[in-house]
Amino acid sequence: MTAIDREDKFMREITYAEALRETLTAEMRRDETVFLLGEDIGVYNGAFGVTKDMISEFGSARVRETPIAETAYIGAAVGAALMGMRPVAELMFSDFMSVCWDQIMNQAAKAHFMHGGAVQVPLVIRASSGGGTGAAAEHSQSLENLCCHIPGLKVVTPSTPYDAKGLLLSAIRDNNPVIFLEQKKLYQTTGIVPEESYAIPLGLADVKREGSDVSLITYGRMVQMCAMTAEKLRQNGISCEIVDVRSLVPLDIQTIIASVKKTRRCVIVHEASLFSGYGAEIAARIADSEAFYFLDAPIKRVGGSHSPIPFSAALEPAAFPTPARIEAAIRETL
C-alpha cells in the first residue's frame, strides 16, 4: 500500500508519539503479560509524552516508574521476559544504553542461543535517538550500529507515525529482543494512521517515493530530509527514489537491490556518524550483489560528523546531514 493509497483510505492524522501510544495501549489491553517500565513514564507521561495518561488506565503495576538506574530496570526487564512476560522498557535517551550494555548484549541477545532455544526473550527496549533538539553530546547520539553488530538483537527505527504504530505492534509480539529507536525530532510530526491495530512485519523496507534517476537509501529522520531534497530536485527534472530501510535487523536487502538496479545510482543517508556507520554495511551489501553491475556511478554516503554532538544551536546542525549535503551527493552521482 502506497502513501497515496493510505491517504485515500484513512483520513485521520495523529502524531508519531500518539501512534506509539495507541499500539502500547492496544497491546496492554489485549495481553496482560505486556507491561511498561522506565523513568518518569507514569505521572510525568514520559519524557516525550508517549505514555501520557496510561498509568490512569493500567495502574502502577503495569506502568512501572523506575529509579534513574538503567542497569537495574533493563536487567529486570530481561528477567521478566525470560519468565514469560512481555516488557516494554523505555530508555529516556538511547545514549543510556551504555550503562546497561551488558544486560542488552550479553544477556538479552544471547539467552535464547546459550540455553539451546529453551527460553525466549520477548523484550522491547524503546529509546529516543538522535539529535536536533539541543540535547548535547550525551543525549543526541545515533547508536543503531552498535545494536546491529550484536547477534540476537533486532533493530527497528520508524520514520512516520504510520510505521511507528505498525512496527511497534510487531516488535511487542516478537519473541526476540527488539531495540526500537525513535528519533526524537519525529515525536510531534503527523501522518495518516488508521484507528485499528495493524502489524508491519519486521525485515520489510518501504519505498516511500518512487523515482528513476537515483536511489536514496535511508531511515529515521533522514527520510524527511531526503523527501525535501527529492521534491526540490524534481523541479529540476531529477527523479529520486526513496527507500526507507525501517528494519535495520533483519534487513530487507532485496528491496534495496531492486531499487539500485532500477535507478543505477545510489546515495545512502543516515544521521549517525559516517565513520563505521550503518550505511557502510548497506554499501557493502550492494557492492556484493548483482546490483553492482548496474551501477553507473560509485555509491555515495552522507552521514553525521565523527565528533561529539555540539550543544550550540549554531554548531549542532553542522554535525548532521542536511538537504544541501544530500543534494550535493546526488548531483555527484549524476
Catalytic residue set:
70, 139
How far is the C-alpha of 168 from the C-alpha of 280, rounded, in Å? 26
CB 164 within 8 A of CB 190: no
Residues 6+ apart with CB under 8 A from 271: 130, 131, 142, 183, 220, 221, 222, 303, 304, 320, 321
Could you give the C-alpha distances from 334 to 239, 283, 328, in angstroms and in order?
11, 18, 10
Nine-digit cell at 332?
555527484
Taking Cα atoms as reference points, which of 205, 201, 245, 240 lies closest to residue 221? 245
Strands 206-209 and 178-183: unpaired
Taking Cα atoms as reference points, which of 88, 96, 160 lies closest to residue 122? 88
| Identity of the amino acid at 235 | Q
- 20-48 burial string, b = 16+ CB within 10 Å, else e? bbbbbbbbbeeeebbbbbbbebbeebbbb
Taking Cα atoms as reference points, which of 224, 228, 213 lies closest to residue 259? 213
Could you give the C-alpha distances from 164 to 53, 84, 200, in angstroms and in order?
19, 25, 9
| Identity of the amino acid at 127 | A
Find the helix packing angle between 16-30 and 161-173, rounded to 10°: 30
CB 288 within 8 A of CB 281: no
- Residue 67, SS3 per DSSP: coil
